[in-house]
Amino acid sequence: MAPQWRIVMGCDEAGLSYKNKIKADFEADPRVISVVDVGSGAPDDKTPYPTRAAAAARIVKGIRAVTAHDSFSVERSVKSNNAQVLCFGERVVGIELARKLAKEWLDHEFDPASASAKKVEEICQLEEEA
Query: What is the pLDDT, as a whole number, of residue 78?
Result: 95
> What confidence tens digit (pLDDT) does each residue in 49-107 have?
676 677 788 888 888 999 999 999 999 999 999 999 999 988 899 999 999 999 999 99
| Topology (CATH) of 5-129 | Ribose 5-phosphate Isomerase B; Chain: A, (3.40.1400)
Mean pLDDT (whole number) for 99-125: 93
Q: Give ∠ CA 103-78-29 in degrees, rounded to 5.
A: 20
Q: What is the DSSP letter of 11?
A: -
Q: Are 27 and 56 in contact (CB under 8 A)?
A: no
Domain ranges, ordered by start, for the chain: 5-129
Query: Using 50, 70 and 90 to split pLDDT, how confident is the model at 13?
Result: confident
The answer to pTM > 0.85 is yes
Query: Using 50, 70 and 90 to split pLDDT, how confident is the model at 1?
Result: low
> What confidence tens digit (pLDDT) does each residue in 32-63 have?
999 999 888 898 988 776 766 777 888 888 88
The closest of 118, 105, 112 to 78, measured between CA atoms, is 105
